[in-house]
A and B are shown apart, each in its own frame.
Chain A
Amino acid sequence: MSTTVIDTRDGEVQFHLAEEPHHSEGSSTMLGFWLYLMSDCLIFAILFATYGVVGANYAAGPSPKDLFDLELVAINTAMLLFSSITYGFAMLEMARNRKSATLLWLGITGLFGLAFLGIELYEFAHLIHEGATPQRSAFLSAFFTLVGTHGLHVTFGTIWLVTLMVQVSKHGLIPANRRRLFCLSMFWHFLDVIWIGVFTFVYLLGMLR
């Protein structure tokens, strides 16, 4: 095990760089976080595939037509879409270095996120109250797993959002906080993309079946 420079007749040949290439702090965070999102994509791909396989196995129980309320889903979709655009506005204010406006838009984003979670929990509670529990049929197991996993992501995103609001209000829009806000921005928009798949394949196509 030698890390020293090896001499040959031709002169010095270096098998390692004399100096590590310079990377500023956090410069690889964005690529790393993007790779995390891509792996998260695979989790959802498997859950979608599972739902696709067992989504019609009702075990003589309720079907999507008996259970889903599309108006509620439309409101929920609107909440998530509004939260996406308000997060975008927060990023624009961050670019202008306006701390309080950034915090305001982040707060509004958080409220939309909470509204989404509230409506989803109301829907779940309603389903379970009607006896459509995850144990009822393979369709409902797959439904609760897929939609619940997305909801769990939104929950953690909201917790992260509140954490960052505290960070920004304490330390301001320092480079580290900007980087964190960028990561959450990707996470938040990514969840909206997953939701497009959920409302299309689970709710809309479920109603057509």
Chain B
Amino acid sequence: MSELAHHTDNLGRGHGDSHGHGHGHGHDAHEAHGSFKGYMTGFVLSVILTAVPFWLVMESPLASPQLTAFLVVAFAAVQIVVHMIFFLHMNASSEEGWNFMAFVFTLIVVVITIAGTLWVMYHMNTNMMPQMDTMEQNEIGQQP
């Protein structure tokens, strides 16, 4: 498992240190686990980061839907990072950085996929609609 399970508890200590402290079985170098404190921190943060956006939408304390939407997305982004750190135990050094490298690559592809699709399809929608006036223009163009 190596250091995917390198948890926040280990962040303060060095990389090699977690290899040193074993659990008394043969596989311990590969089994750095999350700590109770780490999981609870992640859980409490997640509850807050989930409850606030639900409250924002259900009770709508903000007048502007745009601001509410922006805040909801921001809370989601923070919560994804919280999950990555406290539950998935992500860090830049696990598997000699290959985990993180794959993650960054995936992130780039995901952003290109989603943003690119929305961008292209939005302009297709607005520019490719068969409008009455453009059809008339075509007819005028065909007259001579």
Contact = CB atoms under 8 A, between A and B. Distances in A.
Interface in A74-117: 74, 77-78, 81, 84-85, 88-89, 91-92, 94-97
Contacts of A48: 114
Contacts of B54: 70, 73-74, 77, 204
A196 B79 contact: yes
- Interface size bracket, A side: 35 or more
Interface string B40-64: 1011001100100110011000000
Interface of B: 1-2, 4-5, 23-27, 30-31, 33-36, 39-40, 42-43, 46-47, 50, 53-54, 57-58, 65, 68-69, 72-73, 75-76, 79-80, 83-84, 87-88, 95, 98-99, 102-103, 105-106, 109-110, 113-114, 117-118, 121
Contact of A205 (B72, B83, B95): B72
A27 B96 CA distance: 13
B34 A193 contact: no
A157 B17 CA distance: 33
Contacts of B73: 200-201, 205
Contact of B114 (A31, A49, A81, A88): A49
Contacts of A85: 39-40, 42-43
Contacts of A5: none
Contacts of B30: 27, 30
12 contacts: A38-B102, A42-B109, A45-B110, A45-B113, A81-B43, A88-B34, A91-B5, A179-B1, A186-B88, A196-B79, A197-B80, A204-B54
